[in-house]
Amino acid sequence: MAYDPKGPAIETAGLVKVFGETRAVDGVDLTVPRGTVYGVLGPNGAGKTTTVKMLATLLRPDGGEAHVFGHDVVREADAVRSRVSLTGQYASVDEDLTGTENLILLGRLLGHGKPQARSRSAQLLEAFGLTDAAGKQVKHYSGGMRRRIDIAASILSTPDLLFLDEPTTGLDPRSRNQVWDIVRAVVAQGTTVLLTTQYLDEADQLASRIAVIDKGKVIAEGTKGELKASVGAGSVHLRLREAEQRPEAERVLAHCLDAQVQLEPDPVALTARVGTDGNGEQAAEQASRVLSELARAGITVDNFALGQPSLDEVFLALTDRPAVATADEEVVA
Ligand SMILES: Nc1ncnc2c1ncn2[C@@H]1O[C@H](COP(=O)(O)OP(=O)(O)O)[C@@H](O)[C@H]1O
Ligand SMILES: [Mg+2]
């Protein structure tokens, strides 16, 4: 393939990886433009990590091709390695060293001089809100701090392409927001980011384009607007005061929204999709109409939330079946 300096950061065609009976990656075609965050969204076991590992030259593909900045990941693995950085479960941070010690050591390994390694370390710790923890051993860091030092380590020298493999899974909302800010700052410096996630709202917050993968295959790809248009704006979640009022509430919802209403295992809870044309404002309007109709019917609502679609709902819309692993509910109101 002729090298095109403006070409995509990543291009794969029919990429395959097989583990015994499992086709972990089963013919994946991806085109990741430069200078953007590209989201790969999928449940546990979808093949996200295996894809990333092949692109980062840590695993050899069993079929298909992948190029990173025009370099073949198998035949030109060294050239690929010199351009990429990886974080996630492979971080090279040493638990017994402090934040500062880790970053200085890694900086030295990258060939930075001592003063440069020191100042870069201090600068990153400051930028990542870790100055107070700089002198603590990493094993005493919280989950959010750990994730931040991992990312700091991976951008010690600004990589052209950064792989972030589920950087916020298991983090509390505040740490998650901090990681998101970091990702935005990294992209603003010109780095291309391939981000894998199980959270639609994370892909929505960060990515320009999103590929949804399931069982090793890309089942949808497009801008986030395109994806949302096919999936809907979200759901209303209701909890009633009285379980006896649920059948009546179900009738009101079905009438009001012209959508299927889901009865939750909890006998006072119901859920219904709203705004399937992807228009967020309309979703809010529909939700407020539901509330007034319920009040008019004399139904007491204890709790109400308008949620973005969960990964489960995305999968339901795209495949007519739920994702294998249940995603967290992402309530926004
Ligand atoms: N080293 C391995 N040996 C055998 N099976 C594996 C290995 N790595 C991953 N798999 C399987 O491949 C599939 C995809 O895994 P993975 O890429 O880790 O998914 P994800 O990162 O999306 O959760 C899963 O079924 C997983 O069990
Ligand atoms: Mg994974």
Six token digits for residue 271:
């859920």
- Assign 3-class secondary structure to 154-192: HCCCCCCEEEEECCCCCCCHHHHHHHHHHHHHHHHCCCE
The residue whose CB lies within 8 Å of the most ligand 1 atoms, and thus the one to mutate among 50, 51, 58, is 50
Determine the atom of ligand 1 nearest the C-alpha atom of 25: 14
CA of 123 to the centre of ligand 1 (A): 36
Q: What is the pLDDT of residue 333?
A: 33
The residue whose CB lies within 8 Å of the most ligand 1 atoms, and thus the one to mutate among 18, 22, 215, is 22
What is the secondary structure of 20-49 as a DSSP string?
Answer: TTEEEEEEEEEEE-TTSEEEEE--TTSSHH
CA of 198 to the centre of ligand 2 (A): 9
Q: What is the pLDDT of residue 329?
A: 39
CA of 50 to the centre of ligand 1 (A): 6
Q: What is the pLDDT of residue 278?
A: 46
The residue whose CB lies within 8 Å of the most ligand 1 atoms, and thus the one to mutate among 16, 19, 58, 59, is 19
Residues 106-126 have pLDDT tens digits of 888 878 899 999 999 998 899
Q: What is the pLDDT of residue 175?
A: 84
Measured by CA distance, the residue closest to atom 3 of ligand 1 is 19
Q: What is the pLDDT of residue 64?
A: 98
User: Which of 266, 286, 263 shows the shortest CA–CA distance to 274?
Assistant: 286
Q: Do 62 and 16 form a contact (C-beta atoms < 8 A)?
A: yes
Domain ranges of the chain: 10-228, 233-308
CA of 215 to the centre of ligand 1 (A): 10
Q: What is the pLDDT of residue 82?
A: 86
User: Which of 54, 71, 34 shows the shortest CA–CA distance to 159?
Assistant: 34
Q: What is the pLDDT of residue 162?
A: 92
Q: What is the pLDDT of residue 18?
A: 98
Q: What is the pLDDT of residue 276?
A: 55
Measured by CA distance, the residue closest to atom 1 of ligand 1 is 19
Considering the domain delimited by 10-228, tell me its CATH architecture. 3-Layer(aba) Sandwich (3.40)
What pTM, to 2 d.p., does this model score? 0.75
**3-state class of 321 per DSSP?**
coil
Residues 237-266 have pLDDT tens digits of 899 999 999 999 999 999 888 777 889 889
Q: What is the pLDDT of residue 328?
A: 42
Q: What parts of the chain have a pLDDT lower than 70? A: 1-3, 87-91, 229-233, 275-281, 308-313, 320-333
Q: What is the pLDDT of residue 253?
A: 92
CA of 164 to the centre of ligand 2 (A): 10
Domain 233-308: homologous superfamily in CATH:
UreE, C-terminal domain (3.30.70.790)
Six token digits for residue 284:
């809010």
Q: Do 301 and 291 form a contact (C-beta atoms < 8 A)?
A: yes
DSSP run (H or E) holding 203 = helix 200-206
Q: Do 122 and 130 form a contact (C-beta atoms < 8 A)?
A: no
Among all bound ligands, the one having the nearest atom to the CA of 46 is 1
Q: What is the pLDDT of residue 332?
A: 35
**Cα 127–chain centre separation:** 22
- Distance CA(298)–CA(241), nearest Å, equals 11
**3-state class of 289 per DSSP?**
helix
- Distance CA(237)–CA(276), nearest Å, equals 16
